[in-house]
Amino acid sequence: MDELALIEKIRARLTNGDERVRVGIGDDAAVLAPLRGGAVLSVDVSVDAVHFDRRWLSMEAIGRRAFVSAMSDLAAMGATPVTALLSYIIPPGLGEESVLALVGGAKSAADALGATIAGGNLSSGSELSITTTVVGEANEPTLRRAGARVGDGVFVTGTLGAAGLGLRLLAAGRADEEAARSFVLRWCELRARFDVVDRIRAIASACVDVSDGLVQDLVHICDESGTAASIELARLPTEPGHFALAASIGEDGAELALTGGEDHELLFTAPADAEVSGWATRIGEVIAGRGVTVRDEDGSERALSRTGHRHFAR
Amino acid sequence: MDELALIEKIRARLTNGDERVRVGIGDDAAVLAPLRGGAVLSVDVSVDAVHFDRRWLSMEAIGRRAFVSAMSDLAAMGATPVTALLSYIIPPGLGEESVLALVGGAKSAADALGATIAGGNLSSGSELSITTTVVGEANEPTLRRAGARVGDGVFVTGTLGAAGLGLRLLAAGRADEEAARSFVLRWCELRARFDVVDRIRAIASACVDVSDGLVQDLVHICDESGTAASIELARLPTEPGHFALAASIGEDGAELALTGGEDHELLFTAPADAEVSGWATRIGEVIAGRGVTVRDEDGSERALSRTGHRHFAR
């Protein structure tokens, strides 16, 4: 592969007139116009056979998914997407067309989010990985993990466990079934919840995106806030058919909702009486202490076999 | 390895009072204070057995080297280092102490450059890699690859080929010899030339850092500027003993100076009569046309077997 020729092809596909990017691809570094609110920065990696499986996703879908997964961290901070840098490690045998498809997936995801791609890096290596650095502009107030107060409610957008179930349906060879379709898409075509960020910023005391799994990410809020939290299993929002479909492959639907990971919904704390109908669900409360407690329908504490998602391969 | 416990240890080592970083490690993303000049961003990766060899460098040195290599791109843009994000892919068997040593190396490099580390990411994978996103503040004028004018001189800081020769001495098992020492250190302990950036900004029409190799990086300037360049072999600055030491391991000292790579000196164009004595060397001139010509001492054009460095393993 001719690295320099490939970089020129990537540059031709990504160049655009974003006035927030003063210098883009083709120099030693990208230069952004000053961001009044300050820059919000995060880095995320997708590694072959750890975060995705090439049998299940096209290269374009892998590129898109890696990009959105990284951008989701900006949603969790209440930031506005601006631009990104892409760094690929490319193994022998992965051709130029595959790399361009990865870039194309990232570009389509960037377009959908009103963001651009300002630069990146290519390297050879033995294992395909996609490291995405995302840049947003901070909005006041910035959402943080710290800030939850005892007495606040715990809320989550959308539904939980669908991406985790979709992944397991893929692994079980059940992806082609009609009932599996929407779950598999939740894993394959994850979305970042920028659509509800303004509503959350108006009421939230703390926020995180659900990437590790509901319980683990709620632990993050609690640890940073110096609080504990209690959630009620019966309140967890799931997709229609979630429990039956999970049971059909020997999985516990409740466990998937609690720890499945990669939902990329937003989990936040806010006054317990906050009005969220139609876009979020109150699932528990912030209490004094440490850690997260899950209560079954009869009020008893549920023992968790694990708190979070560790990706599928390791 | 307990990823969350390791992140807490990393956080404890990296937390500091940098007022330019409003939110650092421990949230979904880092938040920077607004940078008046705008942010300058670059990403660079160091992959095991591609960019380094664990037999030759301690983990701390690997971490330090990866960090400085990334920061060198900010020097090439004339920017001031601010902060960085570290993303590690960690293979099975690489323990917590090794990861903390990588972080320690990055931290010591950041301290030396007046920069901090604002965040990062850990992932498992089969191959160790270190992806560093660096953030600087732009200074006016920003140095660019584009801007060289016909009639300008071509200048370079420091000496060329020493890092490439050091790497080949390591590979040849000659690193322990007294004569080899300074060359090996040039590769192992590369430095970024922020010390001369202000001087270059005062006179330069274009600039790049010499990472791919002198000829390849001069091609970058020429391509972006719409010019050609001619350099004179006899003018290339090299370390004392460079040619004899290269010959002793069967290498062509001139070829190493032209294409050895990883010098991380700054290559720039400026008025041909610019005063650079003591800190840079004029090695050629910008001419009309395309590409880079190298002239031997007798004025004949030298044929190059390759234009740039492709790292040592592939």
Q: Is the pLDDT of residue A264 over 50?
A: yes
Cβ pair A31:B145 closer than 8 A: no
- Between A302 and A128, the more confident residue is A128
Cβ pair A47:B224 closer than 8 A: no
Cβ pair B29:A47 closer than 8 A: no
From the CA atom positions of chain A, what is the Rg in Å?
A: 20
From chain B, the residues in CB contact with A47 under 8 A are: 89, 123-125
Q: What pLDDT is stored for residue B259 in this prediction?
A: 94
Cβ pair A36:B38 closer than 8 A: no
Cβ pair A35:B34 closer than 8 A: yes
What are residue A161's phi and psi, to 5 degrees?
85, -10
Tell me the C-alpha distance between A74 and A44, whole Å: 11
- State the pLDDT confidence band at A308, using cuts at 50, 70 and 90: low
In this structure, are residues B91 and B8 in contact, taking their beta carbons and an 8 Å threshold? Answer: no
Q: What pLDDT is stored for residue A141 in this prediction?
A: 95
- State the pLDDT confidence band at A313, using cuts at 50, 70 and 90: very low
Q: Is the pLDDT of residue A311 over 60?
A: no
Residue of A nearest to B47 (CA): A125
Cβ pair B38:A32 closer than 8 A: yes
Residues of chain B numbered 218-277 and touching chain A (CB < 8 Å)? 224
Comparing CB atoms, the residue among A29, A32, A125 nearest residue B50 is A125
Comparing CB atoms, the residue among B23, B36, B121 nearest residue A43 is B121
Cβ pair B85:A39 closer than 8 A: no
- State the pLDDT confidence band at A305, using cuts at 50, 70 and 90: low
Q: What pLDDT is stored for residue A248 in this prediction?
A: 97
From chain A, the residues in CB contact with B92 under 8 A are: 314
Cβ pair B26:A51 closer than 8 A: no
Q: What is the distance of C-alpha B52 from the center of its chain?
A: 14
Residue of A nearest to B144 (CA): A27
Residues of chain A numbered 120-179 and touching chain B (CB < 8 Å)? 120-121, 123-127, 129, 131, 133-136, 138, 142, 144-146
**pLDDT tens profile A83-120:** 999 999 999 999 999 999 999 999 999 999 999 999 99
- Between strands B291-295 and B228-232, the pairing is parallel
Residues of chain A numbered 1-40 and touching chain B (CB < 8 Å)? 22-23, 26-40
Q: How far is B124 from chain A (nearest CA, A)?
A: 7
Does A293 lie at the interface with B, CB-CB under 8 angstroms? no
Of the residues A19, A27, A47, the best mutation for testing chain B's interface (the one with the most B CB atoms within 10 Å of its CB) is A27
Cβ pair A124:B29 closer than 8 A: no
Reduce the DSSP state of residue B293 to 3 states and report it: strand
Of the residues B41, B193, B221, the best mutation for testing chain A's interface (the one with the most A CB atoms within 10 Å of its CB) is B41
Token pair recorded at residue B189? 């302990």
Question: Residue B1 has what DSSP assignment?
Answer: -
What ipTM did this prediction achieve?
0.94
Q: How far is A177 from chain B (nearest CA, A)?
A: 31
Reduce the DSSP state of residue B88 to 3 states and report it: strand
A231's CB contacts (< 8 A; 6+ apart) are A154, A214, A215, A218, A283, A284, A292, A293, A294, A295
B299 φ/ψ sector (left φ>0, alpha ψ -120 to 50, else beta)? left
Note down pLDDT in tens along chain B; length 314 residues. 788 889 999 999 997 788 999 999 989 999 999 999 999 999 999 999 999 999 999 999 999 999 999 999 999 999 999 999 999 999 999 999 999 999 999 999 999 999 999 999 999 999 999 999 999 999 999 999 999 999 999 999 999 999 999 999 999 999 999 999 999 999 999 999 999 999 999 999 999 999 999 999 999 999 999 999 999 999 999 999 999 999 999 999 999 999 998 999 999 999 999 999 999 999 999 999 999 999 998 889 987 766 665 444 32
Comparing CB atoms, the residue among A32, A50, A138 nearest residue B124 is A50
Comparing CB atoms, the residue among A23, A142, A209 nearest residue B31 is A142
Q: How far is B304 from chain A (nearest CA, A)?
A: 18
**Helix A3-14 / helix A96-113 crossing angle, nearest 10 deg:** 20
Comparing CB atoms, the residue among A77, A123, A138 nearest residue B47 is A123
Q: Is the pLDDT of residue A312 over 50?
A: no
Q: What DSSP letter does each residue of B143-164 carry, written as one string?
A: P-STT--TT-EEEEES-SSHHH
Q: Is the pLDDT of residue A145 over 80?
A: yes
Residue with tokens 């001619």: B230
B118's CB contacts (< 8 A; 6+ apart) are A41, B18, B21, B24, B25, B30, B32, B83, B84, B85, B135
In this structure, are residues B147 and B205 in contact, taking their beta carbons and an 8 Å threshold? Answer: yes
Residue of B nearest to A221 (CA): B27
Of the residues B10, B89, B94, B133, the best mutation for testing chain A's interface (the one with the most A CB atoms within 10 Å of its CB) is B133
What are residue B21's phi and psi, to 5 degrees?
-110, 105
In this structure, are residues A200 and B28 in contact, taking their beta carbons and an 8 Å threshold? Answer: no
Comparing CB atoms, the residue among B85, B125, B224 nearest residue A41 is B85
Question: pLDDT over 70 for what percent of chain A?
Answer: 97
Residue of B nearest to A36 (CA): B34
Tell me the C-alpha distance between B35 and A32, whole Å: 10
Residue of A nearest to B212 (CA): A4
